[in-house]
Structure 1
Amino acid sequence: MTGRPGAAQGPGPEATPRTHEITLLVNPAAGRGRGARAAAPAAAALREAGLKVHQVVGEDAADAVRRAREAVAGGTGALVAVGGDGMVSLALQAVAGTATPLGVVAVGTGNDLARACGLPLREPVAAARAIAAALAAGRARRLDLGLAGGTWFGGVLASGFDSRVNDRGNRMRWPRGRLRYDVALLAELAALRAVPYRLRLDDGPWQELDATLVAVGNGPSYGGGMRICAGARLDDGLFDVTVVGPCSRSTLLRVFPRVYRGTHLGHPVVTVLRASRVTLEAQGVTGYADGEPLGPLPLSARCVPGAVRVLAAAGA
Structure 2
Amino acid sequence: MRQFTAVVNPTAGAAGSAAALLAVARHLREAGAELVTEYSRSLAHARELAVTAGAAGRTVLAVGGDGMAGCVGGALSGTGATLGLVPAGRGNDFARALGLPRDPEALAGILLRAEPRPVDTVEVTSATHDRVVVLGSVYAGVDALANRHANRSRLLRGSASYYAGGLRAVTTWRPARYTVTVDGEEHTHTGYTVVAANSGTYGSGRLIAPDARLDDGLLDVVMIRHAPRLLFFALMNELRTGAHVHRPQVRVLRGREIHIEADRAIPYGTDGEVDATLPVTARILPGALDVLH
The correspondence for 1:255, drawn from 217, 235, 238, is 235
Conserved 8 A contact 2:75-2:133: no
Does residue 210 of structure 1 match 2:186?
no
Q: How many residues in Structure 1 have an aligned counterpart in Structure 2?
A: 286
TM-score normalised over the length of structure 1: 0.84
Conserved 8 A contact 1:30-1:109: no
- 1:44 aligns with 26
Distance between the aligned counterparts of 2:274 and 2:168, measured in 1?
Answer: 20
- 1:298 aligns with 279
Does residue 144 of structure 1 match 2:125?
no
After superposition, residues 14-29 of structure 1 pair within 5 angstroms as 20-28=2-10
Identity of aligned residues (%): 34
Shifted more, 297-306 versus 64-73: the winner is: 64-73
What one-letter code is carried by the residue in structure 2 that aligns with 1:145?
Answer: T
TM-score normalised over the length of structure 2: 0.91
Conserved 8 A contact 1:106-1:120: no
1:31 offset after TM fit, Å? 5.5
SS for the counterpart of 1:162 is: helix
Does residue 68 of structure 1 match 2:50?
yes
Distance between the aligned counterparts of 1:183 and 1:43, measured in 2?
Answer: 34
- 2:171 aligns with 190
Higher strand share: 2
Conserved 8 A contact 2:82-2:291: yes
The correspondence for 2:200, drawn from 220, 223, 228, is 220
Shifted more, 187-196 versus 236-245: the winner is: 187-196
Conserved 8 A contact 1:194-1:210: yes
1:168 offset after TM fit, Å? 4.2
Shift in CA distance, 217/173, structure 1 to aligned 2, threshold 3 Å: closer
Does residue 244 of structure 1 match 2:220?
no
Conserved 8 A contact 2:63-2:85: yes
- 1:35 aligns with 17
Conserved 8 A contact 2:90-2:157: no
- Structure 1 residues 75-118: Cα deviation after superposition (integer angstroms, max 9, x where no partner): 32x11112221221121132111111111122322111111111
What one-letter code is carried by the residue in structure 2 that aligns with 1:221?
Answer: T
- 1:200 aligns with 181
1:176 offset after TM fit, Å? 5.2
Shift in CA distance, 28/167, structure 1 to aligned 2, threshold 3 Å: closer
Unaligned runs of 5+ in 2: 126-130
Runs of 4+ in 1 over 6 A off after TM superposition: none
SS for the counterpart of 2:32 is: coil
Conserved 8 A contact 1:106-1:124: no
- Structure 1 residues 270-308: Cα deviation after superposition (integer angstroms, max 9, x where no partner): 010000000000121111011112511110010110011
Conserved 8 A contact 2:175-2:190: yes
Does residue 120 of structure 1 match 2:140?
no
Distance between the aligned counterparts of 1:228 and 1:104, measured in 2?
Answer: 22
SS for the counterpart of 2:201 is: coil
1:182 offset after TM fit, Å? 4.1
SS for the counterpart of 2:202 is: coil
What one-letter code is carried by the residue in structure 2 that aligns with 1:197?
Answer: Y
Conserved 8 A contact 2:139-2:194: yes
- Structure 1 residues 158-200: Cα deviation after superposition (integer angstroms, max 9, x where no partner): 1111112234455x56645455554432232222321001110
- Structure 1 residues 117-163: Cα deviation after superposition (integer angstroms, max 9, x where no partner): 11112x233212211012xxxx1111011110221121111111111
Conserved 8 A contact 2:121-2:289: yes
